[in-house]
Amino acid sequence: MRQTTLKKSITIEGIGLHSGHRMIMNIHPAFADTGVCFKRSDVSCEYTKVTPYTVTSTMLATTIRCGEQTISTIEHVMSALYGLGVDNAMIEVSGPEVPILDGSSGPYVQKILETGIKELGKPRKYMKFNKKIRLEKDGKWVEILPSRFFKVTFDIDFDVETIGQQKAYFEVNPETFSKEIASARTFGFKREVESLWQMGLAKGGSLENAVVIDGNDIMNPEGLRFKDEFARHKVLDLIGDVSLMGYRILGHIRAYKSGHQLNNLFARQLVEATNSYSLIETQEESPALHQTLELKPQGLA
């Protein structure tokens, strides 16, 4: 399989979750071996290639360093690019955060599929893990096991009837990501959202871009998109966070109650565990990339 990029540039506009300001994001095609790079278009800033080490904060979202500036909430667009198999892209954002849109990767997926993906002239590189690697912290854990494909299993456990214990498992490829993962929305509790508002955060947060829970009730009038939407969104976030390693992953990641901080620490640990993986350039694809380009994410109009 060769590396990929977008067929042409796309523009996405939307509210920033924390500032509440309108953000414009342009995603441009890029040459092979570029990876995914970000820059701020509102200030003087060079493109910065994302890695686990460009992450400066994991509070409420994944934030990266971009020159002397920062860009936050990158995990949903990163998850969309990885999930659809886009290896190279140059992303410009008109402010300090990526548009939150509906709180999922779905709108990004839709735009990418409408635009199309093209192959480039160099082979894609994969991290093939041959040993188990595990990270535990504060009763939470994440690990990777050897596998021929990229798989994710995520367990969550909330002391709230609406969520409770949920488990999501996927073999991640463009088809499963588009249909089963992309449209799962971020979620939060009403009391926490109100507290964030008092702190001057989450100014753009609303029922239009998050599932909000009040006690044991879902406040969103349309309800959930999946019965296990909460666990599926955790899978989405995890994919976005580990995608910063810059390679396709051959391994089964299993996580329990992990979040952005643990995801990032785990991605750094994986990169540094050089005796536990090999870099290879050939791998079976299932399904073939061109067979997925017309798929529409479930739950979206």
In terms of pLDDT, which residue wins out, 195 or 160?
160
Q: What is the pLDDT of residue 201?
A: 65
Please report which confidence band the pLDDT of residue 288 belongs to, taking 50, 70 and 90 as the band edges: very low
The alpha carbon torsion through 122, 30, 266, 55 (nearest 10 deg) reads: 150
Per-residue pLDDT at 200 exceeds 80: no
Q: What is the pLDDT of residue 44?
A: 86
Residue % of the chain over a pLDDT of 90: 81
**Which of 67, 64, 74 minimizes the C-alpha distance to 42?**
67
Per-residue pLDDT at 292 exceeds 60: no
Per-residue pLDDT at 256 exceeds 60: yes
Work out the average pLDDT over 90-106: 97
**Which of 108, 72, 54 minimizes the C-alpha distance to 245?**
54
Per-residue pLDDT at 301 exceeds 70: no
- The predicted-structure confidence for 128-137, as pLDDT tens digits, reads as follows 999 999 999 9
Residues with catalytic function: 260
Work out the average pLDDT over 80-99: 97
List Cβ neighbours of 230 (8 Å cut-off, separation of 6 or more): 156, 158, 163, 166, 184, 187, 211
**Where are the domains positioned within the chain?**
2-291
Per-residue pLDDT at 286 exceeds 70: no
Q: Is 183 left (phi over 0), alpha (psi -120 to 50) or beta?
A: alpha
Residue % of the chain over a pLDDT of 70: 92
**Helix 260-272 to helix 229-242 angle, to the nearest 10 degrees?**
40
Domain 2-291: give its CATH architecture.
Answer: 2-Layer Sandwich (3.30)
Per-residue pLDDT at 295 exceeds 60: no
- The predicted-structure confidence for 3-53, as pLDDT tens digits, reads as follows 999 999 999 999 998 888 999 999 999 999 999 999 999 998 899 999 999
Please report which confidence band the pLDDT of residue 287 belongs to, taking 50, 70 and 90 as the band edges: very low
**Which of 2, 4, 5 minimizes the C-alpha distance to 29?**
5
**Residue 241 gets which letter from DSSP?**
H
Q: What is the pLDDT of residue 293?
A: 46
Work out the average pLDDT over 112-131: 96
CA–CA distances in Å: residue 112 to residues 49, 71, 174 = 20, 21, 12
